[in-house]
């Protein structure tokens, strides 16, 4: 597993990637290479699909150049901490309340943000997107919403195809639907909903999905 805290070197970008998307570009490929070393092949395949879809969503919603770059890079990095051992997650992102202590996997967004910073990422929109992909971003944060939607609706998930389609024409509504689906799924499986997710969901509950 790669050292999560050393700066990225461009020389790490020497292996081509099998699907089209942001990882084909020289400015993003070094991050893809580093991410690839930190997770299983299956999870990396998920990351590639999320990155390709997030970029498509960004283009469909007329994101400007800066937003597009932030979206693509955040999508590549969103699960960078997902396979780290619990102790490392806790070091990078100390739990803030009981729910996070009981479910340390919920820390992988905040831990991912810490790794992205260590790797030289500075765009706050991208960093927020990495952190918030676990619990759901605040409405209106377009970069984070695109990454969140891409994460829950990439084709490999086999669910949320309608959310993926809706995101091409109505990002806000697609996000509300994605979040509502997540909350419904967690509740129906008796799982704890993160307090931040609940807060965002309740704020959006009376709007159409």
Residues in contact with Fe ion by CB under 5 A are: 79, 151
CB of 76 to Fe ion, least distance (A): 11
Give the nearer residue to Fe ion in terms of CB position, either 47 or 204: 47
Determine how many CB atoms are found less than 10 A away from the CB of residue 26: 8
Task: Give CA–CA dist 184/8, Å, rounded.
Answer: 39
* Residue 174 · residue 137 · CB < 8 Å: no
Q: Which residue has the tokens 């931040």?
A: 196
CB of 47 to Fe ion, least distance (A): 7
CB of 93 to Fe ion, least distance (A): 13
Give the nearer residue to Fe ion in terms of CB position, either 7 or 45: 45
* Residue 196 · residue 182 · CB < 8 Å: no
Give the nearer residue to Fe ion in terms of CB position, either 79 or 131: 79
Give the nearer residue to Fe ion in terms of CB position, either 79 or 128: 79
Q: How far is the first Cα of the chain from the last one, in angstroms, to the nearest whole number?
A: 41
Least Cα distance to 6 among 117, 100, 110 occurs for: 117
CB of 23 to Fe ion, least distance (A): 15
């Amino acid at each position: 597993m790669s050292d999560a805290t050393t700066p990225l070197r461009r020389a790490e970008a020497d292996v081509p990637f099998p699907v089209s998307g942001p990882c084909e570009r020289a400015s993003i490929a070094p991050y893809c290479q580093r991410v690839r070393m930190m997770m299983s092949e299956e999870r990396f395949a998920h990351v590639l699909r999320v990155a390709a879809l997030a970029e498509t969503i960004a283009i469909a919603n007329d994101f400007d150049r800066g937003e597009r770059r932030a979206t693509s890079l955040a999508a590549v990095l969103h699960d960078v901490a997902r396979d780290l051992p619990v102790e490392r997650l806790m070091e990078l992102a100390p739990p803030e309340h009981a729910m996070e202590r009981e479910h340390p996997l919920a820390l992988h967004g905040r831990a991912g943000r810490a790794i992205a910073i260590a790797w030289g990422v500075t765009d706050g929109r991208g960093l927020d997107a990495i952190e918030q992909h676990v619990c759901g971003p605040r409405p209106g944060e377009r970069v984070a919403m695109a990454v969140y939607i891409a994460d829950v609706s990439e084709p490999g998930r086999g669910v949320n195809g309608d959310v993926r389609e809706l995101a091409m024409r109505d990002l806000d509504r697609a996000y509300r639907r994605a979040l509502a689906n997540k909350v419904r799924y967690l509740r129906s499986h008796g799982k704890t909903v993160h307090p931040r997710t609940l807060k965002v969901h309740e704020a959006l509950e009376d709007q159409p999905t």
